[in-house]
Every structure is written in C-alpha cells, then in structure tokens.
C-alpha cells in the first residue's frame, strides 16, 4: 500500500510542478520541486527528497507563525531563517484538510524567483554586506487567504522586484502549483503513517551498510577567487549517522554563510548518492543524520549574514566532502539549479540575467 | 464661506484644538518610541487630514519637519485610492514607498481613519524617519544606490490593522526588513498609538460640537488660510522672478546639478515652475513629486509663517514640475537622500527667486545635510548597533533681516532636535572630543550666518562607516548681498594611515577602535552687505570668538583695537568708505 501510494504521490508531485510550469511563460526554465508533509509536519514525499531537511524547517516556520488555517490558504517565505537555502528561493505552503479542525497535511512547492531586489538582478551578489543586502526578506506571509489573493503581499513582491511582471506571473504560478498538489494528494494522507514508516525502514536498512569512520574533503572554487575547502568525518552510531566538520571555517563576509538546514540537505544528498537511495527512502534521511557543527561557523552561521552562495558553493563543498568520505561518484547526485552563478563575478551569470530580463520585457 | 460670529469662534477653537491634538500625538511618540531618532531627534511629523468625499485636505499639523507632513497628504490620497470601498473603522494604514506618495523609504507613514456616519471623514497621520529599512546599506543611505532596489524594503499602502485586528504577517514583513526590528517595532507601535489617541480626540470634538459644525469650521479654516496667503501675494509686485541652487554632485559621477525656479506673481496667485532643472541622474538625490512639492511649500511657509498651515494655504500656489527630472523622477530612480539633497536646493532656488519679491523675509530655509552612519558590535552589550548623528550637521541657520543665524538648523527644521552628546555616549560606543563653533566661519552679512561647527568623535569599538556630504563646493547662499556659508567636509580615520577626506561619500569603510571622524558643518549664508553690520555687533562677535580681529577687518571692515577690544570708529569708517566705493551694488 505504501508503495502504491508513494507512486501515486510522486506522479501527483510531477503534475503539481507541471501546473506551475504551465502557468509560467513557456521559456521559464527555473527548477521547481513539490513535496507533501503529514499532519505532524514530517515531509513524506518530495520530488527532490534531499531537500526534506530545509523543506521541513520551512514548513515548521510557516505553520508555527499563523494561528489558524483555512482551506484555500497559501503562505510563502524566502527567508533563510525559515529554511530557505538562499534568498531568491521561495517555498509556498498550502494546508490539506480532511474535515474540520487542524490541517491533516501540507503541500509545498519550492522554486527560485526571477528577482527580489538586492544589489543585482537575480538577488545574488558578492557586494552583499548582510542578509538585507540580498533582497527583500519575505518572512512567512499569507499570499492567499481562503482562496482570495492578498493584494498587499503580491504588491510587496512586485515592488521589491526588478521584474514585477514576471514575478507576478511566477507568484500566481506558485499558487496554482501548490493548490494543484493539494488537489492531487489527499490519498496520501490516508496512508501517511505507512509511507513514513516504510521510508524510515528502507533508510535505516540502507544506512546499516555504512560502517566505521570515514573522512573526506570537498573543495569548491569561490567566485572571484579562492577555494572553499571543507573536511568532514562520517561515522555510524547505532542507526544514526554522525557527521562532523572539524576546522570548519568561520562565518564569512562573503555570501557563503549556510544554515544547518542547508548542510543537512547536502549531507543527505551525498549519502543518498552513496547508498543509491530512491526518492521514497531518501526523504527520511534527515531523521538519521546528526550534525556536529560549531555555532557561528560557516555551516551554522548567523541568519543575519549574507547567504546568496550558500547552496551553490558552501552546500556543494559539503556534498563533495561527504561523497569523498563515502567514496562515491559525486557527479551523480548533485542538482545544478538556480542561482546560476558567474564564476568570475559571483552574480547571476550573463546568460541567465539576459534570459530573465528578456522574459520581463515580453511579459 | 460666511460664518456667524459664534461660528467664527467655534472655528478658531476647532483649528487650535486640532493643532493641539497633533501636538499631543507628537508628544506621545516622543515619550513612547524606542529609537533616539524619534525620542531625542524628533525626526517625525504629525497631521490631521479631512476627507470631504472627493478631496483630502491637510487641516492641522504640529511643529514638524515640513517635508514630512506635506508629502503625507499624497500618502493619504494613495491609501484611499488603493483601498477604495474597503476602508473600515479600526483600520490602520502604512506606506513607505516613495513612488506611492512617500518621500524616501525610511520615512514611514501611518494613517488612522476616523469615521462618522459610516464614512471616513478624518485621518490622523504620522510620518517618521526610522533608523533602518533593510536594503543594501545599514541606515538607509546607500551612497552607491543606482536603483530604488538598492535602498530598502519598499512597502505599498497596506493595512497594519483591519477592523481593529492587527494583521500579523504584514507587521512582521515590515519589521523583518529592518536591521533593528526590536527597536523599530517599538517606534512603529508608538506611531500607531499616537494615531489612535489622535483619532479619539477628533471623535471627542465631533461629539461635542456635532459633525456639521466641525465640517463648517474645517472649511472655513482652509478658506481663511487661502484668503490670508492671497492677500499676502496681492501685496507683492507682479512679475517673474528666477532663482537657482546647485547641488555639488549626485553620488554617481554627475556634478553641479542645477535646480531652477521661476516664481511668477500674478494678482493673488503664484506659479512656481522648476523647468530647466537637471535631468534625473544616477545617484540617490532624485526627488519624487511629493517630496519636491513639500520642499516648495516649505519655502513659502518660511516667508509667511504666521498663516495657519493647511491645504488652503497652498490653493494659491501652482507648481510645475518637468518630467524625468531631478525634481520629478520616474522609477526606478534612487531617491534616498532627496528629502534634503536635492530637497534643500529646491527650497533654496525658490527662496532665491523670492529674494527680489520680499527681500526682508528671505534667508536660509533649507538644511545642508551631510551625515554618516556607523555600525558594528557594541562591546558593552554584545549587540549590533547602528547610529547616525545629527550633531554632525548641526549648523544650517543663515542670517535673515534683523536676525543673525542662530546656533542650529534653519527655522523650518527646528522641530528636529539635536540629541545630547551625552546620550549618544551613553547608548553607543562613542566619545566626543570636540563640538564647537569654528572662528571666522560664519557667513558675513549685515546679519551673519551661524558659525560652522567642528565635530570630532572617537569610536570606542571597531565599526564601519558610510558618510555622505554635499555643500563642499556649492555652499548655502547668502541673500541681498550677504556672503555664502562655509562648506561641509568629513575626515574619516583622522590621523591614521588610512585617513580619508570625504568631499562626496564613502561606503562601508572600516574604522578601528579609537579611530576619529571629523566633520565641519558649514551653516547658512549671511543677509545684507557685511559692511553695513553694526560695528558693535562685530565687536560682540569678536568677544564671542565667532570672528577674529583679523576677520572683523577683512570681512566687515571693522577695525578693533587688539589691546582694548574696542571698535576704532574712525578707522572703521575710513576702511568701510574705501571699500564701499568699490563694493558691488546691492
């Protein structure tokens, strides 16, 4: 039953994502990921299961913020303190109900927006002094209230974007997509406990294949010069995996600062690649990963610090280090997506910038 | 409008009452806000607006920063337009975006509608400058801004409260986009509270006199101010008078930005045309229309300060603004500094045009703002801090007929207060080394400008600094033969190998613990020929060390005996006679 429900769920996720794309200009090619979480706010299935740690944090942040939910609500955030991996990445969340009362589950849709302000188009720049320099912080905001789009929130998004028309379309596409997920996924709620248990069992069994202590190094060029190198230790302890980063660099004036959620995502991605976990199992990985990171270091940085490169550079370094430790081909598991950084400038690469500007003009 | 004698008395009571309500709102904010830019510097303004169903009018205001409350009228109009049909009792509106009737992003406007008969009739409003609005530079003054998105979080008209219920996520969105959410939350609550109390006071007077009597009084008050200003203008000579002012630079490589004003007096009306002003430029000195209009009005109010200020006052004034210009810019032009730079130049250009119309009333009405922000971690508390300091720009008062420039800002800005240096030292890791007048820096005139001030402050903790200045090359002008004021300058990291002399701006410059910033704030121009200044007044200036004995001779033609410090009248007369023959005609 869990298998069948999961297959249905993954197909439903794809349909929700397709709804988003259909609502966008045809040439928009930004990545989009859907997910389903149960009433306990555990992510049950996701088209990018290795984002379940950060998706879970986003869901908890949003659901904790609002006192009450109604059918037809959609809320969103891009805030790194709320689980976003970088400031141009938004997650929309919609509650699922099976009768009156509290939500029985949640659908999530995550995508990068074209622009939300800051120094440069695409909202990523090495000039950022802090998180506010990278663009508008959209902390949990109710975009749709009981089916009615809130003008205040859409106007705020438009005003704080260099691409107001495109972000307008993108916002409505997010709403369409996350609501399409809500329509397509109610069956999953009925079997959520079984789905979650199945994922845990499969993950636990896979993790048992890791034994001993493993060390690795991951290095990624920093835009504009230099290299970020991270060391990692991976050790299985009972059914859990302890991952520590000795000599982790201090937090940075460059937009390299990562949160625990991003680190958890990237560790999960590497472990999933090493164990060849399928999407149904990989979503449970964060429950088995213990991170030992010094607070205030680059990998558990203050949320006030700039984070535009957190996924593309720091996260990738984490991923490479863990792949190296587990002796895994790193080319298989990494998902290359927004923001597309220019290696020299650290901003959005020219082709992407031109593409976004062109779409805005044509909107 | 004709009122009976008793109605006239009622109208005056209503006018004064509403102005006292604005004062009360102002006091509430002063006493309850957290940030010292509110509680000590008083950088906010209050007002009450009336809506007759089709038009919004400013009815009353407190002593205010004038550019705030005039532009706030446009914010009220915009909120009503956006929320047409869905303005309810218990609503509280907020707006900060300059292109929605704001001035610059740090000026936040809060508006509370007051209902009678099921319709919003009055609005209590408060516009205040908050310490930080997110964006690419701490403190809201991004010297590198080339677009509005570099300046801060833009907020369109939104409801902070809907039918008396706080809209939680909107509050949170606004405050999350400041670097000092805790402090600024207190400020925003103070603004909201003041508007709420103001609304109650309006309800009280309407209950007492009845809405029809209040509305007749308001209409009369507006007509009265209009009639007074028209009478004033009728006494002026018809004609077209031009003035101009030049802003040093636009922070983006553009230099010598000219603001031109042609003031046409025709019967009982004025037209003020700013055509010929510089096109909008790359840096953050572009002014939105509402800000420009505020500054034009401020100049006129300075000329006729005894007429109650409300929308009636401005009915005789028509303003013409050239499109896509530095005085009427289009988005996404950055506007962060425009409330004072180019705003002061707008005021100055209008004032220079009026110099030939009402010479005995003109003088510096603007503020030649240079300022800086420092930010870092306060080692005493471990907390992030961000602070500007208005004491660095203390002087802008110039001479006017009968009055020397006093030690502080020009009159329209006197609602702003200079926070005590001791309070800065208490709250922030600073130590002040100098804050005093500079000898021989006051603009000479029959009535001189205020002396320039010299300011030195040491940072006790490492900080970063953003500094920005104008008025280095084009200083504040004198009037009717008075000389221009001294210029403004900064020196950052004074005496250190990394010392920087700032004639325009710097961004995010590190200052180690112990580093010093120096500033000269130059003050307004003089009024009238310095050779006509009373020699005894010059002697008093020498005794006060505003003017040296050499300066007295050089600038005023007054010879003072260095031994007795007495005026040598014969020598003075002779010197002045010799100079007077060569002096340019006034």
- Does B168 contact A at CB distance below 8 Å? yes
Q: Does B1 have pLDDT greater than 80? A: no
Helix-helix angle A260-275:A316-325, to 10 degrees: 40
Average pLDDT score over residue span B288-309: 93
Is A156 in contact with B149 (Cβ distance < 8 A)?
A: no
User: Would you give the DSSP letter of residue B533?
Assistant: S
pLDDT tens column, B32-44: 999 988 999 899 9
**What confidence tier does B584 reach under pLDDT thresholds 50, 70, 90?**
very low
pLDDT exceeds cutoff 80 at B215: yes
The overall average pLDDT reported for chain B is 94
| Average pLDDT for A339-345 | 89
Burial of residue B378, with CB atoms counted within 10 A of its CB: 0-12 exposed, 13-18 middle, 19 or more buried: middle
Mean pLDDT, range B16-28, rounded to an integer:
97
What is the distance between the alpha carbons of residues A304 and A247, in angstroms, rounded to a whole number? 22
pLDDT of residue B272: 98
pLDDT in tens, A266-303: 999 999 999 999 878 899 999 999 999 999 999 999 99
Judging contacts by C-beta atoms under 8 Å, the chain B residues touching residue A129 are: 136-138, 508
From the list A130, A133, A142, which residue is nearest B169 (CB)? Answer: A142
Residue with the larger pLDDT of the pair A197 and B325: B325
CA distance, residue B418 to nearest chain A CA (Å): 29
* DSSP bridge partners of B114: B122
Average pLDDT (B556-585) is 87
On whether the CB atoms of residues A291 and A238 are closer than 8 A, the answer is no
Using the predicted structure, report yes or no on whether residue B82 has a pLDDT greater than 60: yes
User: Is 0.90 surpassed by the pTM of this model?
Assistant: yes
Determine the average pLDDT of the residues in B95-102.
92
Give me the mean pLDDT over the A157-169 stretch: 97
B149 — phi, psi (to 5°)?
-75, -10
The size of the A-B interface in CB pairs under 8 A is: 81
pLDDT the model gives residue B92: 98
d(CA B62, CA B27): 10
Tokens describing residue A113: 């927006």
Please answer yes or no on whether B173 and A141 come within 8 Å at the CB atom. yes
Angle at B503 between CA B500 and CA B509, to 5 degrees: 40
What strand order describes the sheet that includes A32-38?
A43-46, A32-38, A105-112, A89-96, A74-77, A141-145, A148-149
Neighbours of B267 (CB within 10 A): 11
Q: How far, CA to CA in Å, does B189 sit from each of B154, B161, B388?
A: 19, 12, 22
Tell me if A162 and B332 make a contact (CB, 8 A cut-off).
yes
pLDDT, tens only, A271-280:
999 999 987 8
Tell me: pLDDT of A3 over 80.
Answer: no
Q: What would you measure as the largest C-alpha separation in chain A, in angstroms?
A: 57
Burial A83-110 (b: 16+ CB within 10 A, else e): bbbbbbbbbbbbbbbeeeeebbbbbbbb
B-chain residue closest to A130, CA distance? B136
Looking at chain A, the whole-number percentage of residues with pLDDT higher than 90 is 76
A76 pLDDT tier (thresholds 50, 70, 90): very high
Using a CB-CB distance cutoff of 8 angstroms, which residues of chain A are in contact with residue B173? 137-139, 141, 153, 156
Is residue B153 less than 8 Å (CB to CB) from chain A?
yes
All residues of chain B having their beta carbon less than 8 Å from the beta carbon of residue A121 are: none
Q: Looking at residue B44, what DSSP letter applies?
A: E
CB B183 within 8 A of CB B164: no
> Please, which pLDDT band fits residue B129 given cuts at 50, 70 and 90?
very high
Contact A133 B135 (CB under 8 A): yes
d(CA A174, CA B153): 22
Residue B70, strand partner residues: none
Residues of A numbered 131-160 whose beta carbons fall under 8 angstroms of chain B's beta carbons: which are they?
132-133, 136-142, 151-153, 155-156, 159-160
Asked whether the beta carbons of B390 and B371 are under 8 A apart, the reply is yes
Segment B178-188, tens digit of pLDDT: 999 999 999 99
Of B136, B138, B173, which has the smallest distance from its Cβ to A139's Cβ? B173
Helix (DSSP H) and strand (DSSP E) numbers for chain A: 10, 11
pLDDT, position B79? 94
Locate tokens 């609503």: which residue?
A: B91
What percentage of chain A has pLDDT greater than the value 70? 95
Give the confidence band of B207 by pLDDT, cuts at 50, 70, 90. very high
In the 3-class helix/strand/coil scheme, how is B392-420 assigned residue by residue?
A: HHCCCCCCECCECCCCCCCHHHCCCCCCC
Residue pair A242/A292 in contact (Cβ under 8 Å)? The answer is yes
Query: Which of residues 375 through 394 in chain B touch A, CB cutoff 8 A?
Result: 384
d(CA A175, CA A161): 18
B367 has pLDDT over 80: no
The ipTM, to two decimals, is: 0.95
What confidence score (pLDDT) does residue A363 get? 86
Q: Is B456 helix (H, G, I), strand (E, B) or coil?
A: strand
Token pair, residue B560, equals 């003072």
User: How far is the alpha carbon of B422 from chain A, nearest alpha carbon, in Å?
Assistant: 30
At residue A5, does pLDDT exceed 70? no
**Cβ atoms A86, A258 nearer than 8 A:** no
Q: In chain B, what residues touch A159 (CB-CB under 8 Å)?
A: 97, 154-156
- The pLDDT confidence band at residue B585, using thresholds 50, 70 and 90, is very low
Q: How many Å apart are CA A11 and CA B251, to the nearest integer?
A: 55
Residue B563 has pLDDT above 60, yes or no: yes
Please state, as a whole number, how many other Cβ atoms lie within 10 Å of the Cβ of residue A39.
17
Residues in B 81-110 with any Cβ partner in A closer than 8 A: 82, 97
Q: What is the mean pLDDT of residues A302-326?
A: 96
pLDDT band at A187; cut points 50, 70, 90: low
Q: Which of residues 280-339 of A touch B (CB under 8 A)?
A: 304
pLDDT at B283: 97
Contact B156 A132 (CB under 8 A): no
What is the arithmetic mean of pLDDT over A119-132?
95
The mean pLDDT value for B481-499 works out to 95
CA distance linking residue A44 with residue A188, whole number of Å: 9
Distance from CA of B101 to the nearest CA of A (A): 14
Query: A119 and B150 in contact by Cβ < 8 A?
Result: yes
> A9 or A249, which is more confident?
A249
Mean pLDDT computed over B336-361:
94
Give A75's contacts (C-beta < 8 A, 6+ positions apart): A62, A65, A66, A92, A93, A94, A140, A141, A142, A143, B169
| CA–CA distance, B432 with B452 (Å, rounded to integer) | 17
């Amino acid at each position: 039953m869990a298998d069948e429900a999961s297959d249905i769920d993954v197909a439903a996720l794809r349909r929700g994502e397709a709804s988003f794309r259909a609502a966008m200009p045809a040439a928009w090619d930004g990545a989009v990921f859907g997910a389903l979480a149960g009433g306990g706010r555990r992510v049950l299935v996701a088209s990018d299961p290795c984002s379940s740690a950060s998706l879970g944090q986003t869901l908890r942040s949003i659901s904790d913020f609002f006192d009450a939910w109604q059918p037809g609500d959609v809320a969103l955030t891009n805030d790194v303190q709320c689980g976003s991996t970088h400031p141009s990445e938004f997650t929309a969340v919609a509650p699922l109900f099976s009768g009156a009362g509290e939500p029985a589950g949640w659908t999530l849709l995550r995508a990068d927006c074209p622009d939300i302000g800051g120094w440069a188009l695409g909202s990523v720049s090495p000039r950022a002094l802090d998180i506010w320099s990278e663009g508008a912080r959209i902390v949990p905001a109710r975009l749709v209230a009981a089916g009615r789009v809130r003008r205040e929130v859409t106007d705020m998004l438009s005003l704080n974007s260099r691409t107001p028309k495109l972000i307008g379309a993108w916002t409505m596409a997010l709403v369409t997509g996350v609501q399409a997920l809500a329509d397509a996924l109610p069956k999953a709620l009925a079997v959520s406990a079984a789905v979650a248990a199945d994922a845990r069992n499969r993950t636990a069994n896979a993790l048992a294949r890791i034994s001993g202590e493993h060390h690795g190094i991951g290095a990624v060029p920093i835009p504009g010069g230099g290299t970020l190198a991270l060391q990692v230790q991976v050790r299985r302890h009972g059914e859990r995996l302890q991952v520590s980063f000795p000599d982790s660099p201090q937090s940075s004036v460059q937009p390299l600062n990562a949160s625990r959620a991003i680190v958890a995502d990237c560790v999960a991605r590497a472990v999933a690649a090493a164990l060849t976990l399928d999407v149904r199992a990989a979503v449970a990985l964060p429950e088995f990963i213990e991170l030992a990171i010094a607070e205030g270091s680059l990998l558990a940085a203050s949320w006030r610090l700039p984070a535009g490169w957190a996924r593309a550079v720091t996260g990738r370094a984490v991923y490479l280090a863990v792949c190296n430790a587990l002796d895994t081909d790193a080319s298989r598991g990494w998902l290359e997506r927004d923001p597309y950084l220019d290696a020299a400038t650290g901003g959005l690469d020219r082709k992407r910038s031109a593409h976004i500007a062109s779409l805005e003009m044509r909107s | 409008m004709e009122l009976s004698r008793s109605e006239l008395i009622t109208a005056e009571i209503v006018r004064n009452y509403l102005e006292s309500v604005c004062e009360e709102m102002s006091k509430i904010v002063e006493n309850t806000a957290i940030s010292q830019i509110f509680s000590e510097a008083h950088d906010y303004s209050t007002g009450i607006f009336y809506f007759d169903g089709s038009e919004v009018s400013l009815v009353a205001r407190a002593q205010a920063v004038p550019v705030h409350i005039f532009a706030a009228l446009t914010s009220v109009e915009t909120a009503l337009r956006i929320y047409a049909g869905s303005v309810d009792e218990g609503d509280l509106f907020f707006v900060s975006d300059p292109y929605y009737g704001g001035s610059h992003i740090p000026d936040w406007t809060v508006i509370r509608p007051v209902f009678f008969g099921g319709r919003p009739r009055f609005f209590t409003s408060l516009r205040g400058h908050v310490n930080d609005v997110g964006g690419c530079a701490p403190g809201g003054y991004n010297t590198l801004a080339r677009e509005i998105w570099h300046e801060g979080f833009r907020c369109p008209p939104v409801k902070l409260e809907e039918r008396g219920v706080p809209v939680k996520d909107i509050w949170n969105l606004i405050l999350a986009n400041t670097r000092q959410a805790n402090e600024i939350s207190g400020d925003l609550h103070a603004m909201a509270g003041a508007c709420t109390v103001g609304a109650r006071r309006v309800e009280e007077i309407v209950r007492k006199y009845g809405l029809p009597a209040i509305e007749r009084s308001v209409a009369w008050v507006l007509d009265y101010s209009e009639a007074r200003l028209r009478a004033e203008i009728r006494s002026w000579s018809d004609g077209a008078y031009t003035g101009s002012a030049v802003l040093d630079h636009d922070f983006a490589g553009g230099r010598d930005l000219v603001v031109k004003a042609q003031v046409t007096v025709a019967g009982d009306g004025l037209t003020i045309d700013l055509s010929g002003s510089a096109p909008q430029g790359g840096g953050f000195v572009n002014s939105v229309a509402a800000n420009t209009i505020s500054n034009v009005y401020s100049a006129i109010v300075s000329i006729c300060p005894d007429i109650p200020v409300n929308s009636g006052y401005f009915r005789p004034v028509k303003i013409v603004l050239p499109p896509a210009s530095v005085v009427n810019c289009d988005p996404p032009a950055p506007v962060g500094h425009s409330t004072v730079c180019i705003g002061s130049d707008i005021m100055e250009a209008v004032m220079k045009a009026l110099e030939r119309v009402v010479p005995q009333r003109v003088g510096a009405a603007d503020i030649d703002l240079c300022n800086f922000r420092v930010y870092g971690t306060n080692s005493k508390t471990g907390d992030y801090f961000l602070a500007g300091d208005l004491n660095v720009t203390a002087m802008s008062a110039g001479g006017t007929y009968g009055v020397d420039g006093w030690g502080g800002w020009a009159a329209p800005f006197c609602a702003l207060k200079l926070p005590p240096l001791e309070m800065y030292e208490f709250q922030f890791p600073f130590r002040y080394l100098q804050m005093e007048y500079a000898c021989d820096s006051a603009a000479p005139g029959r009535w001189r400008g205020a002396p320039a001030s010299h300011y030195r402050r040491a940072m006790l903790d490492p900080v970063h600094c953003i500094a920005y200045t104008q008025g280095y090359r084009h200083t504040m002008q004198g009037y009717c033969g008075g000389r221009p004021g001294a210029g403004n300058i900064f020196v950052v990291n004074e005496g250190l190998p990394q010392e920087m002399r700032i004639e325009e701006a710097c961004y995010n410059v590190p200052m180690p613990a112990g580093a010093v910033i120096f500033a000269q704030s130059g003050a307004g121009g003089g009024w009238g020929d310095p050779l006509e200044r009373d020699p005894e007044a010059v002697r008093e200036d020498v005794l006060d060390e505003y003017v040296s004995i050499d300066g007295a001779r050089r600038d005023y033609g007054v010879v003072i005996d260095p031994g007795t410090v007495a005026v040598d009248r014969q020598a003075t007369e002779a010197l002045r006679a010799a100079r007077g023959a060569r002096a340019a005609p006034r």
